[in-house]
Chain A
Amino acid sequence: MQIRQLSLFLENKPGQLRIPAKVLGDAGIDILTMSLADTHQFGILRLVVKDTDRARAVLEDAGVVVNVTDVLAVDVPDRPGGLASVLEAFENAGLGIEYMYPFATRERGRYATLLFRLEDPAKAASLLQQHGVRLVSPAELFARAG
């Protein structure tokens, strides 16, 4: 059920974000969603693409430091209190969240999709399913992205 996410090291200075964006663009790789975590000195750009391996290869060739991290895609009911109910399930399953960010597309009117980084994604996936949380498989996620 895990989604493979690319994590890129960026220095916090002008022009650094454009490099990976251009490299991926030139390679014809579509960025499905992304999130930037930053400190005053450096940042980590996390992104999801369909062809993770090829994206990694072209980025590394361009001299970018890249890691692949597994995250989970969770459908959250698109209504007030929807997120709280899902987080309650996380709590009940005893899972801590490292970070989260939204997926760019959603099942309009029904669910918003969020990506979660958890300590042990494989174990977390089965626990969350036991707690009735809707996980989105990579295939379904990419299909939604078109």
Chain B
Amino acid sequence: MNTQRSDAGVAFHPASAPDFLPRRELAKLQLERLQKVVRRAYEKVPLFRQRMEARGLRPDAVKGLPDLARLPFTVKADLRDTYPFGLFASSMDEVVRLHASSGTTGKPIVVAYTAADLQVWTSVMVRALAAAGLGKGDVLQNAYGYGLFTGGLGAHYGGEALGATVIPISGGNTERQLMVLQDFGVTAICCTPSYMIHLIERARDAKIGFGKLRVGVFGAEPWSDGMREYIQAEAGIRAHDIYGLSEIIGPGVGVECVHRDGLHVFEDHFYPEIVDPETGEVLPDGVEGELVLTTLSKEAMPMIRYRTRDITALQAEPCPCGRTLRRIRRIGRRSDDMFIIRGVNVFPSQVETALLQVEGTLPHYQIVLTREKGLDEMEVQVEVTAGFFSDEIRGLQALQHELETAVDHVIGLRVKVTLVAPKTLARSEGKAKRVVDQRNI
């Protein structure tokens, strides 16, 4: 074992062993698995085969890991176009589980798992939870939604295999969440970060604390460092970011270790590349671009060079925890939740950064885009809290102006900030809805 490992006092879980493979051994394993999965996809998935043939490629073109860059990309539209089962590489009698993700437009996308796929998924979730400092003896409140969404069952089986006590409470019913959290001696929670903030607000209203809770593992939507600080301070916990997507496996593609400086990607199962979102060209470590993932061991639905639309960079520098797995920087934005207003590209995370800069606020907000007489308008609705409510009209107008200026500085666009009464913006039990586009483009 690596003697330089420092997990800040966190016990080592045997399932974490692959996290510490020497890079050379890891690369060897990755290549073996890559060659196998490319061959499988070529033989079993007509769309992938056609695209390979169009480029004059056969599976044996993959002689080394760099050859991956020659293979065609897979995009989300491919899953929709082949709905429901068109990208499956296993027959239905080998498929033991289906999940589906709610598409924002039209049909959902459907993903499949063989028994071996489920084992891989569970193993990476065990490693993810262990890296976050959890183990036997922890009581895990799993507030991810159970059902077609991968979050619930992914965290559930990972938590059980880790040896923790799992409470399958699923999402929603905030009162019951807070009661269980207190009464069952919960030490760890899994949910979306926006739902955790909702729990914090409701706990404050009810004047109750977070009992024994010490760790939160939050994912399924981008969240800022400001949100992390707020969650950590308000709930008195360590907050970890976890990354995953159903197209690849669900949660458990990557996670932050106790040092929380980037998310370790479980590279023995998911091969990460960063590409230029415009040209598709592979970028070196450290350079920001779109994350592209290849599943190295998936049977039922191999994904070769899947475009995640998530913008990040790979960090190859060694982590103090001793894991040899490269890390991705926390994902602040996606290349497709970007919206364009008056010719300016805007990401909701930029607006959040601006709002956080205005002292003492972690507001609930919503961006509303409208079009009046052909002109696009962007309005940021911000909920007023007692903390920054001024008794004077000019105080509130100054706050409004300050928020408008902060947004202007970050995105270079004058927008309208509207102060709204607390709890008037839609609260999420799942993912926060940050942008309402009423432009009917």
Contact = CB atoms under 8 A, between A and B. Distances in A.
Interface in B278-300: none
Contact of B386 (A61, A67, A117): A67
B166 to A, nearest CB: 34
Contacts of B418: 41
Given A9-B384, A39-B397, A67 B421 contact: no
Nearest to A5: B391
A66 interface: yes
Contacts of A60: 386
Contacts of B424: 11
Given A65-B386, A67-B386, A9 B421 contact: yes
A92 interface: no
B435 to A, nearest CB: 21
B147 interface: no
Nearest to A38: B393
B386 A44 contact: no
Interface in B118-158: none
A66 B393 contact: no
A143 interface: no
Interface residues of A, number: 23
Interface in A46-86: 46, 60-61, 63-67, 69
B176 interface: no
A65 B389 contact: yes
Nearest to A16: B421
A42 B396 contact: yes
Contact of A69 (B205, B385, B391, B397): B391
Contact of A46 (B389, B390, B391): B391
Given A11-B424, A16-B421, A65 B393 contact: no
Contacts of B423: 63
Contact of A41 (B385, B386, B391, B419): B419
B242 to A, nearest CB: 32
A39 B386 contact: no
Nearest to B390: A67
A63 B389 contact: no
Most central of B391, B421, B422 by chain A CB within 10 Å:
B391
A41 B382 CA distance: 13
B392 A98 contact: yes
Contacts, number: 49
Most central of A63, A65, A98 by chain B CB within 10 Å:
A65
A7 interface: yes
A66 B384 CA distance: 10
Given A65-B386, A67-B386, A11 B392 contact: no
Given A65-B384, A67-B386, A10 B392 contact: no
A102 to B, nearest CB: 18
B392 A44 contact: yes
Contact of A37 (B205, B393, B421): B393
Contacts of B393: 37-39, 44
A41 B396 CA distance: 11
A7 B392 CA distance: 9
B316 interface: no
B382 to A, nearest CB: 11
Nearest to B423: A63
A67 B420 contact: no
Nearest to B385: A65
Interface string A93-108: 0000011000000000
What 6 A-B pairs have minimum CB-CB distances, sorted nearest first? A7-B391, A69-B391, A65-B389, A11-B421, A9-B384, A63-B423
Interface of B: 205, 384-386, 389-393, 396-397, 418-424
26 contacts: A9-B421, A11-B419, A11-B421, A11-B424, A16-B421, A37-B393, A38-B393, A39-B397, A41-B418, A41-B419, A44-B391, A44-B393, A44-B396, A46-B391, A60-B386, A63-B422, A63-B423, A64-B422, A65-B385, A65-B386, A65-B389, A65-B422, A66-B389, A67-B389, A98-B392, A99-B392
